[in-house]
Structure 1
Amino acid sequence: MSSPRSRFARLAMLLTTALLGQAAAKTTLNFWWSQESAEDKAFLDARIAEFEKANPDIDVRLQVLPADQYLNAVNLAFRGGNPPDVFRAGGFSAPRLEDYAALGWLLPLNNLRSNSLITRYPSNTIAEGTVIFGGKMYSVPYFRTGVNNMAFLYYNKKIFAEAGLSAPPRTWNEVRAYARKITETGKGRYFGWAMQPKSPPSTYGGYLSTVARRGFVGEPHPALDYTTGRYNAEHPGQVAAVEFLRKLNLEDKAVIPGWESLDFNTLQDTFAQGRVGMMLGFAAYAGTFSTRYNMKESDFGIAPMPTETGKYLTRLPKGPPVGWFAISARTKAPKEAYKLFDFLNSEPFSLANAQERGHAPPLRLPTATLARLNFTIPAQIAVTNTEGVLRPDPRLRSPDWVKVLANFKPPQPQLYEIHAQYINGQISNYLDAAKKYDAAWNAELDRAIAAAQKDGAKVCRELLIFPNYTATRDFGSRDYAALPKCK
């Protein structure tokens, strides 16, 4: 018969073993995020706490990395054999989701995903060439189609009132007149216009969307004419747009001094601080103004991009859905990683993202629901639905096109730098610089296609030519079906 002391010792041992077993059963997931704003970590910490409460057997370790260091950190982590389990793999510039998939760094979701992951999205948003490559699904859309990669005109309602202005401008001449009036009224306190050349997507998304309104039918960044498959920075619409912005800066002197050093964060700071009356920016800026800066509907407005004459020859090109989160192919806990992935793309996460950050979610949700969460979202959606058309994408003709993108190296200096130099008066002949850049860009594309072909990719220049694209309606499946294949 055992003594009370020995029975207590055995009980203590059993309890210790049970506790150690519970600790050992807890799975740790490393989750990486590229910082978009100062509020990112607090937002994600709160969401992860919700996830961990619902999944007590999973411990998520969040790492928020500076945007300018993120891509290099991901590259080093994978090549060093210690990548995160779940990470932001998508984006609007290379490397994109398809680039990581081509490297074999992403885990296909085909055998992990639930049916609800698909049905929560509109029917045409999950397709080959967007989040599916070679039949393998790697992600789901993070932003509502077109909203985040289209540029809007933002205007400060209080500054407008002080300058005796009410409705936003609709023509380029009105923009110049409004900007001069605001600058004169401000007397150094604020200026009429702001733009920023430090982040290329924002630059192109801003004034090259203005270009699209003059008949240019290509992609807003870069200046690709899809009807010919050639880079065309010499297009009359391009020339007219940069000339308009040059006059706004050099002749009207209505652009805020020091605009050359602005990036997307400092541009938003400048607008929120009431230092400019108008600016061009992405839809996501609206959410930032309403959440980070606590700006109200009475403080600022969102409007379509002005055009040269007030008439719309074409609408604004918008890209296909962009996948964002992905699971590493090297994760040791794929089922747990999928639980986190599913949560990051769930309705609760999207609703919190809309309410706290103003991001229009990609899910099937009533606009009335979104309006209650953030007043800017209906305006974002309205402008996008009215003004945007889905542009063509060569990846939807051949998934191998991603290999061309992987081989392509943009000529230097890049076009956005040439634009900034011309607008600021550093160079005097834009057309000459554009011709040289077009020649260099097109030669580089031919080289990248040849390199991809040498690696076995089924690609050709014809994949980039869409003669039936007009930029007046969405480019859909019937349009793709009418196009020829590579010879």
Structure 2
Amino acid sequence: MQGRLFGTRVMLICTIIMLAVLPGCNTGRQSNGETGTGPKEEFQKTTLRFWMRAASKNSVTGRLVDAYNAENSDNVVIEFEVFGENYRNVIQMALAARRPPDVFELNGGLTIAQLAQSGSILPLDDYVTEEFRKNFYPEVFSQKQFYYKGKLYTIPERVSFFRLIYNTDLFAEAGLSGPPETLEQMKEYARKITEMGQGKYYGFAIALKTSSNWYRFIDNICTVSGRLGENGFDWETGRFDFMKQEKVIEYLVSLDREGIMPSDSLLLDIEVCRAQFGQGRYGMMIDGNWQVAQFGNNEIKCDVNWDSAPIPVFEGDRRGKSYMFFDMGKVIAKETEYPDEAWNFIEYLFMHQSEFVRNGEPLRTTVSANVKENIPLHYMGIKNFTDIENSVVFPQQVHNFLNNHLEGDPADVVYEAIFAGEIPIDEGLAALTERYNKALENALQDGSISREDIFIPGFDYFEFYNSR
């Protein structure tokens, strides 16, 4: 059944791209002329296509699209499509065919460096006024990964961070009074639940078929314990050093080899993993703050009681603040015939960010959206997902500047080979360190990023944490 649904989805994607490209087919835009029959105003609508990775038509975004279509004075109709795990492929096919959506989300591994260098998107500088900037946290506009050669191409909407989520029903059944504080504790808690489950449920799960989950696990442990920044980058040296991830990867491998988590982790998709957590199959997993709304609004059926907690660190390690990042920005395609109308729609979404917070969605980059009265504290698990004061954002995501320079496999592919036992941990991490630093040097040489952007003299993770 799953294979049939996937095949249907792929055919649908191909059909959408073909309809967008073939001459004479419906491109999603209406003519401003008076063709056909019916009232004149019906044919004066401007249709903009808007694509996202993961938001249902009944989500907050879907409802805001409906409201915009009903309210806007530009006579614009937004056609909203969602593509899930296939999102990146769909966008790349549409860009290659020179028929991208007018507005689309920066998600699924797409980066500003890639899209701007290829001339696929428009800068937003002419639209972003000083008055507009005042609505946001100051760090939002200092994040260099949203710029290319000094021009701003997107403004992130969401404040994202991760926590350990755990099934309080299984914890109670196993006689566990609260969440683990150390990774050693987490392993023993998970082992106890797995043994109690006798194959029906497991103490810990990680969906490694979804490549971002490698980073969610490894990065969160490394950053909160002051080992590294994101994706192997070390802010203390201004270089990549994947060898500092070795202990964390050894720990993850041990959970698998000791049978503490399910044996199909490499085949487990994140959406399936979330659904199975909601059905009581797993005791713990690491996930993002969007999980609150997915369970709380029944986007994913949840039959268990659960809560969230800070991600554990190794025993003896000092704990810093949790790292957070800004994401979910929208970009305007260079091919659009209606850039002003596209910006007006994006601005409308920013004016209504409070709607997301009120519905249990992650905190937003607009300060006013995150006021206490907007946060629905009755939502299960939400408390630790709104703790923005104990979270910190790094100056930028350095790895996002390497896409056009990195030779060989990205880190997640190497992690998978290590996990599968195909290459030794130290060999794989050493090769990543060498290749990523070579890519970094190339990015520095061509001006994609500057030395001042990545090297902070005297940087100390815990001092940096405490100063924010």
Q: Which residue in 2 is equivalent to 1:260?
A: 266
The answer to whether residue 167 in structure 2 is matched with residue 172 in structure 1 is: no
Of the three residues 227, 246, 254, the one matched with 2:253 is 246
SS at match of 2:272: helix
Looking at structure 1, the residues matched to 272 and 407 of structure 2 have their Cα atoms a distance apart, in angstroms, of 26
Deviation at 1:170, TM superposition (A): 0.7
Q: Which residue in 2 is equivalent to 1:153?
A: 164
Of the three residues 306, 309, 318, the one matched with 2:315 is 309
- Residues 143 and 396 of structure 2 are in contact (CA less than 8 Å); yes or no, is this contact kept in structure 1? no
Of the three residues 99, 104, 122, the one matched with 2:114 is 99
SS at match of 2:286: strand
Looking at structure 2, the residues matched to 24 and 242 of structure 1 have their Cα atoms a distance apart, in angstroms, of 58
SS at match of 1:433: helix
- Residues 102 and 333 of structure 2 are in contact (CA less than 8 Å); yes or no, is this contact kept in structure 1? yes
The residue correspondences of 1:6-405 to structure 2 (distance < 5 A) are 20-34=39-53, 36=54, 39-40=56-57, 44-55=61-72, 57-68=75-86, 70-88=87-105, 90-91=106-107, 93=109, 95-113=110-128, 117-127=132-142, 129-134=144-149, 136-144=151-159, 148=160, 150-219=161-230, 222-235=231-244, 238-251=245-258, 253-291=259-297, 292-293=299-300, 295=302, 299-309=305-315, 311-319=317-325, 321-322=326-327, 324-347=329-352, 350-356=353-359, 358-364=361-367, 365=369, 366-371=371-376, 374=379, 376-382=381-387, 384-386=388-390, 388-393=391-396, 405=402
Per-residue displacement from partner, 1:126-159 (whole Å, max 9, x unpaired)? 3462545555443322112xxx2x3311110000
Q: Which amino acid aligns with 1:470?
A: D
SS at match of 1:212: helix
Q: Which amino acid aligns with 1:33?
A: M
SS at match of 1:210: helix
Radius of gyration: which is bigger? 1
Of the three residues 403, 407, 411, the one matched with 2:408 is 411
- Do the aligned partners of residues 458 and 139 (structure 1) sit closer, same or farther apart at CA in structure 2, a change above 3 Å counting? closer
- Residues 52 and 58 of structure 1 are in contact (CA less than 8 Å); yes or no, is this contact kept in structure 2? yes
- Residues 278 and 301 of structure 2 are in contact (CA less than 8 Å); yes or no, is this contact kept in structure 1? no
TM-score (norm 2): 0.80
Looking at structure 1, the residues matched to 127 and 272 of structure 2 have their Cα atoms a distance apart, in angstroms, of 41
TM-score (norm 1): 0.77
- Residues 145 and 397 of structure 2 are in contact (CA less than 8 Å); yes or no, is this contact kept in structure 1? no
Per-residue displacement from partner, 1:368-419 (whole Å, max 9, x unpaired)? 322258454442121x432x33223387xxxxx97x534222533x433443
Looking at structure 1, the residues matched to 311 and 392 of structure 2 have their Cα atoms a distance apart, in angstroms, of 14
- Residues 179 and 277 of structure 1 are in contact (CA less than 8 Å); yes or no, is this contact kept in structure 2? yes
Looking at structure 2, the residues matched to 130 and 322 of structure 1 have their Cα atoms a distance apart, in angstroms, of 10
The runs of 5 or more residues in structure 1 that have no matched partner are 1-15, 396-400, 480-487
Per-residue displacement from partner, 1:146-199 (whole Å, max 9, x unpaired)? xx2x33111100000110112100112211211121112222221111112222
Q: Percent identity?
A: 22
Q: Once superposed, what is the RMSD of the aligned Cα atoms?
A: 3.4
Looking at structure 2, the residues matched to 445 and 130 of structure 1 have their Cα atoms a distance apart, in angstroms, of 14
Deviation at 1:96, TM superposition (A): 1.4
SS at match of 1:318: strand
Q: Which amino acid aligns with 2:101?
A: P
Q: Which amino acid aligns with 1:216?
A: R
Deviation at 1:447, TM superposition (A): 4.4
SS at match of 1:432: helix
SS at match of 1:389: strand
SS at match of 1:469: coil
SS at match of 2:115: helix
- Residues 414 and 428 of structure 2 are in contact (CA less than 8 Å); yes or no, is this contact kept in structure 1? yes
Aligned residues: 431
Per-residue displacement from partner, 1:260-280 (whole Å, max 9, x unpaired)? 211221221221111111112
Q: Which residue in 2 is equivalent to 1:468?
A: 458
Looking at structure 2, the residues matched to 327 and 44 of structure 1 have their Cα atoms a distance apart, in angstroms, of 17
